[in-house]
Amino acid sequence: MSRAVVHGAVSIVNAMANGLGAALGVGLKVEASFKLVNEPVFKIYSNGKLLKPGNLLEKVCSLIFRDHGVQYGCTINVSSEIPAKKGLKSSSAVSSAVALACLKEICGEVDLLKAAEYSAEASIQAGVSITGAFDDASACLLGGITITNNFEKRLIARRIVDGSLRVLILVPPGGVLSGSIDTALFKPVEPLMRLAHKLALEGEEWTAMTLNGLAVSAALGISSEPALEAIRAGAIAAGVSGKGPAVAAVSKPEVAGRVKEALSRFGRVIETSVCNENARVE
């Protein structure tokens, strides 16, 4: 049996406008265990619940099995700290963890970017993501900030960030599947999101994150008030993560309490750390 531990991520630049994305690894954790079985069935449990056939994690394994000539089935157990359908990369994190554990079990070696590629391809096939969310998967697997071209499944840059930074995440009620978003909504703000990607590449990731958040809020009709209140309270960056409704703010530790209090006026807030670490597999 193989086991993988992967961390979550939040958006720096949403890739749905043009395939150009960037994401930041955060401390929320996903664990996946993987075991081959001698019958062609997939038994996949997520937080103790048996998933229906044809799910995202089955597609990840099917792709890996196809490419490596495997004709067995498997049993998978996944546990996740990441709220689902909030724009907090839960699908990328769990599919990346499963891909990593599956590759370890079958190949005996680990390639983090290959796991990200399988996660992205399975996400497209399952209708979970329009672009494949390679930016999110790479941030979950590599940690730090990853800047990508999702359509090419290409990592353009990766950087470590200040490990003392705190991440405050507003988790409102409701949720949306990324695959159900009409990408045409992003057309009016695409130049802003392209600029945000350029800023992230130039080392201005926090400006990029806030600009991206404002652009996504405008495109999807999500209130920018929580992010702006976080900035007023001292956050160095804040904005909608993914397609929302969650809002992520990055803060220095000395003002994290004020930022959390500001966001708490809008709903439940999770406080976590940035994550610069690679995923672990054994």
pLDDT (tens digit per residue) in 159-192: 999 999 999 999 988 665 555 578 899 999 999 9
d(CA 201, CA 157): 7
Pick among 3.80.30.20, 3.10.20.310, 3.30.70.890, 3.30.450.20: CATH of 166-273:
3.30.70.890
pLDDT of residue 40: 81
Pair of tokens at residue 76: 């998978």
Q: Which of 32, 24, 29, 22 is nearest to 7 (CA)?
A: 29
Residue that is written with structure tokens 């990607």 in the block: 197
pLDDT of residue 53: 87
64-94 pLDDT per residue, tens = 999 999 988 899 999 999 999 898 999 999 9
Q: What is the mean pLDDT of residues 262-276?
A: 97
Pair of tokens at residue 260: 């959390």
Answer whether 27's CB lies under 8 Å from 167's CB: yes
DSSP conformational letter for 5: E
Q: Strands 268-273 and 166-171: what pairing?
A: antiparallel
Residue that is written with structure tokens 């998967």 in the block: 137
Any idea where the domains of the chain sit in the sequence?
2-160, 166-273
pLDDT of residue 66: 95
Q: How far is CA 128 from the centre of its chain?
A: 12
d(CA 256, CA 251): 6
User: C-alpha angle with apex 170: 168 to 175, nearest 5 degrees?
Assistant: 140
238-253 pLDDT per residue, tens = 999 999 999 999 999 9
Answer whether 170's CB lies under 8 Å from 86's CB: no
Neighbours of 156 (CB within 10 A): 17
112-168 pLDDT per residue, tens = 999 999 999 999 999 888 899 999 999 999 999 999 999 999 999 999 999 999 999
pLDDT of residue 100: 97
Pair of tokens at residue 125: 């096939």
pLDDT band at 39 (very low <50, low <70, confident <90, very high): confident
pLDDT of residue 160: 98
Q: Which of 6, 1, 126 is nearest to 60 (CA)?
A: 126
CATH class of 2-160: alpha beta
Cα dihedral value 252, 261, 89, 6, nearest 10 = 60
Report which residue type is found at 16. M
208-242 pLDDT per residue, tens = 999 999 999 999 999 999 999 999 999 999 999 99
User: Do the domains at 2-160 and 166-273 have one common CATH topology?
Assistant: no
